[in-house]
Amino acid sequence: MNAQEIINSIEAEQLKTDLPVIHVGDTVKVGVVIQEGGKERVQPYEGTVIAMRNGGINETITVRRIFQGVGVERVFLIHSPRIASIKVLRRGKARRAKLYYLRERVGKATRLKQRFDRPI
């Protein structure tokens, strides 16, 4: 076996299998494991998926939400052990792969139409 095959076999063991089907435009709730002192707890982070990057173990989603009037974006490595759960709350209708144009929008202009042809 060459080096790339060894890397691929190790990565395959780390991939999560219980992930939902996520699309750009969906509203998701990501459960993130937070360490406080010696304790661990799961903190939910809810927002709209504005970008996805596929690449096996390096697959990421960028989730945007408005917190106290300020837009906050977080990039989640979805196969990371720090991600406890991902739940799709709403399917959004997006016509492009990256929704970076939502960064310039404020208030109700950031809403996406809901999509009903895909199951949640």
On whether residue 116 sits in a domain, the answer given is: no
Model's pTM, two decimal places?
0.88
On whether residue 14 sits in a domain, the answer given is: yes
Which CATH number belongs to the domain containing residue 9 in this structure? 2.30.30.790
> Domain range spanning residue 92?
3-110
Taking the C-alpha atoms of residue 77 and residue 19, their distance in angstroms, rounded to an integer, is 12
Taking the C-alpha atoms of residue 118 and residue 45, their distance in angstroms, rounded to an integer, is 23
On whether residue 120 sits in a domain, the answer given is: no
Q: Is 69 left (phi over 0), alpha (psi -120 to 50) or beta?
A: left
On whether residue 72 sits in a domain, the answer given is: yes
The tally of domains found in the chain comes to 1
Q: What is the pLDDT of residues 69-106, one digit of tens each?
A: 899 999 999 999 999 999 999 999 999 999 999 999 98
More confident residue, 55 or 78: 78
pLDDT mean across residues, the chain: 92
